[in-house]
Structure 1
Amino acid sequence: MGALDFLSDFRRREGEDDILKATWYIAAATGLAAANQSAHIPKLYELATHGLSLADRKMVQRRLKEALLKGTVLYGVPRAAQALGPLYRAVPDDEVDLYSPRTEKFASEGEAAKRVERGRKYFDITWTPGPAQEVRDRSFKNHPDCYLLNLETIYQLWISEDAILSNLETQMCTTTLLTCLDSPIQALWHTRGLIRHGASLEQARFAQELGLAIAKQFGCKTAGITMVDEIVFDETYT
């Protein structure tokens, strides 16, 4: 029995034949990183890419890298490095995908304004506009540098970038990893955010239950996690 055998149930449950549209492996990657189980990332890559063409393996790799990179803002640089390092070493030189949308577009004309708008929109949808603005105002009033990092840089440059992962896919990963990270309040907030970004209740259950399964497999704490069916969602979004 392999340590990741349980993921086959989630792969079947999602039922997405197109690996470039499936979310089970990108969410699992962030959950493993959050659970400090990054040694299993190469095996996850192997499972996700088995039987694929070189072009599709590169696309899966691209999606995994992006998911792990975005997760950095939640589980920190050390766990991101521990996750990305094994993946880098596992990928043959002729299979390395170098696409990096932020680097490629950073100095493009008009890109700065697009980042600002994209980040603001993502944050507004995740929290709803009124509460989102309250958070911005409170943070800027009390700690401008915190505002610059958490409400501008993170959302504008990293989280809201959708060239590789859609906003919904990003929130799927966020929900899974926060469930593994023993952060029940943030997991609750971002599960609501997942729904607000267009996910179904079944997708929310999938992301949460994947996180709980990873946590159970590797002994992570999950006390206080509010189950999807116990969460009060905005009627507008459900």
Structure 2
Amino acid sequence: MADIATPEFLNELKSLYPATANYVDGAWFLAAGIAFSSSNYPEGISRILRYALEDLDKCPGTSDEDRRLLVRKMRDGIFKSGLITGIPKVINALVSLYQATPEVLRDTEPLRDSSRSREEVSAAGQAFFDSTYGDTAGKVQSLLKTIYPDLEHFTIKLTYGYVCALSEVTSAKETSFALISSLIANDTPRQAEWHLRGALRNGATLEETRAVREIALRIAIKAGVPLNHEVPNI
């Protein structure tokens, strides 16, 4: 595949997301990295990271903690997106990210606390699921339990409880953005619509949510992803 993650294209993607006072709060690089991963173009992730770190270094007072947070957001967002795209794409994406990450910014310990009880994890998962789905949470959870009880158990306790509920690095709205980007590139409009609305419930603005949708869509098209269904809007 030709190199699609050109500086010109990255400039275009960045311009779609509303400007923020703090560069690391601008989720364009998170949405773009996940869309490249989901579109099976992991090479784009290393280019985004280098581009974003160079951008960040232009901001006065930038510290290694700022740089580390940017890398962590991309890493954790890609990890969360694996629930949609699958582990093979996540491995390829994280390898690309790791290779482009300066050694001083690499983490060596897990972000998640493996000592939490099952009850704590389950409660966190239910809370984040309810926050994301709002007044449709009961209906969606009932659907999952009806079509396969194991799916409902896995979704609440592991997908939402262990993976998605962690918000210290990627916030609730950024987690929604990660899911939106991966769903669009996977041509799953029903679930994309769920999470477009979920992003608003999790604190995103309409402008931010539409920007993430557009970033993911442009990358998917550029990467040649066959989109057989219309991508929902909001």
TM-score, length-scaled by structure 2: 0.86
User: What is the CA deviation profile of residues 189-238 of structure 1, one whole-angstrom value per residue up to 9, with x for unaligned ones?
Assistant: 1111112222222112101111111012111133423442xx4xxxxxxx
Give the share of equivalent positions with the same residue, in percent: 25
Aligned to 2:192: 187
What are the equivalent positions in structure 2 for 1:180-219 lying under 5 Å apart? 180-219=185-224
Gaps of 5+ in 2: none
Specify the SS of the correspondent of 2:23.
coil
1:7 aligns with 2:15: no
Residues 221/113 of structure 1: CA separation in 2 closer, same or farther (3 Å cut): same
Aligned to 1:224: 229
Residues 205/134 of structure 1: CA separation in 2 closer, same or farther (3 Å cut): closer
1:163 aligns with 2:168: yes
Aligned-partner Cα distance in 2 for 1:134–1:212: 28
Give 1:106's match in structure 2, choosing from 108, 114, 139.
Answer: 114
Specify the SS of the correspondent of 1:6.
helix
Aligned to 1:152: 157
Residues 53/115 of structure 1: CA separation in 2 closer, same or farther (3 Å cut): same
8 A contact 1:33–1:80 mirrored in 2: yes
Greater mean alpha carbon deviation, residues 40-49 or residues 3-12? 3-12
Deviation at 1:53, TM superposition (A): 4.0
Deviation at 1:138, TM superposition (A): 4.5
Aligned partner of 2:133: which letter?
W
1:79 aligns with 2:82: no
8 A contact 1:35–1:180 mirrored in 2: yes
User: What is the CA deviation profile of residues 46-103 of structure 1, one whole-angstrom value per residue up to 9, with x for unaligned ones?
Assistant: 011012543322221111100000001000000000100111122233331335321x
1:23 aligns with 2:27: yes
1:121 aligns with 2:118: no
Aligned-partner Cα distance in 1 for 2:65–2:150: 42
Aligned residues: 224
Specify the SS of the correspondent of 2:25.
coil
Aligned to 1:55: 65
